[in-house]
Amino acid sequence: MSRASKMYIRFWGVRGSIASPGKETAKYGGDTSCIEVRCGKEIFILDAGSGIRKLGSKILKEKTKHINILFSHFHWDHIQGFPFFAPVFNKNYSITLVGERKMNFTLEQLFTAQLMFPYFPLSLADLDAKISFREVSRNDSIVKNNVKIILARLNHPGGCIGYRIEYGGKSFVYATDTEHYSCIDKSLLKLSLNADVLVYDCNYTDDEYSGKTGPPRTGWGHSTWTHGIKVAKAAKVKKFIIFHHDPSHDDKFIDNLEKQVQKEFKESYAAYEGMEIIL
């Protein structure tokens, strides 16, 4: 198989809720959600959390001039890096922002609101790159240059989209910011079926979610690794990635968490900044 027919995945931000830099989080990283997926010449970026800043510096050194950014939703930890993504200030780049409108707000209006006084010194119109918007809805699909992207709704306050990227006979599923049901979510199960990689929201432990330690997190829109493993097994995925680490979970905590998960599903790994997967 040629390199061009392989899918390349790199994690640039794996933290949830708020960036949490420091010596306690140095191993797994403190930047918020951002994953780079390369399919041939196509670049797909999943979410624009603070991790996208370093990715932007890397992309500027390359010849690629078109970028697709797929947004799961628009909570701050998934968009806060967008104004610091270097290619948006370069007129040689075209960037397509993909996501769903919220209520009566178009995708363009959502980003116009993010980049406005007094929250930011520049407006969306001040950015030099050619920015276009592609509004999608759950259960849509996108086909582009031998890449197929399937969308599905997730369970999160205000709504969230899960993405399945298929290329070269391989499949990668991004399912962050979703809360489990008492039974397996049929929509998520379908999205994840036979996937090579499933990235899943494991923000809480069972004790945290139930309220045994701290306040109950029921209804907060996040899940646990135990329910993620249920999905992984039912969907027969090959590799399970623990993602959206809680800002209070330091490196030692995640080390122990990874060991617990691997006892239940051998091919499980805690996402860390710089983690690479080639399919």
Collapsed DSSP state (helix, strand, coil) of residue 178: coil
Confirm if 115 and 122 have CB atoms less than 8 A apart.
Answer: yes
Q: What is the pLDDT of residue 4?
A: 73
Tokens representing 161? 């989209």
Closest among 15, 2, 277, 26 to 165, alpha carbons compared:
277
Q: In the chain, at which residue ranges do the beta strands (DSSP E only) sit? A: 7-13, 34-39, 42-46, 66-70, 94-99, 130-135, 141-144, 147-154, 160-167, 170-175, 197-201, 239-243, 268-270, 276-278
Bridge partners of 35? 11, 46
Domain with 242 in it: 3-278
Tokens representing 196? 């090579």
Q: What is the pLDDT of residue 35?
A: 98
| Residue whose tokens read 């790159």 | 129
Model confidence, pTM: 0.97
Walk along the chain (279 residues) in steps of 10 and give the mean pLDDT of each run: 80 97 98 97 97 97 93 98 97 97 94 95 96 92 94 96 97 98 96 98 97 95 98 98 98 98 98 98
Q: How far apart are CA 45 and CA 273, in angstroms?
A: 14
Q: How far apart are CA 180 and CA 165, in angstroms?
A: 22
Confirm if 60 and 74 have CB atoms less than 8 A apart.
Answer: no
Q: Residue 252: count other Cβ atoms within 10 Å of its Cβ.
A: 10
In degrees, to the nearest 5, what angle opens at C-alpha 136 toward C-alphas 244 and 148? 75
In degrees, to the nearest 5, what angle opens at C-alpha 60 toward C-alphas 111 and 89? 35
CATH number of the domain residue 175 falls in? 3.60.15.10
Residue type, 63: K
Q: What is the pLDDT of residue 3?
A: 61
User: What's the total number of domains in the chain?
Assistant: 1
Bridge partners of 102? 105
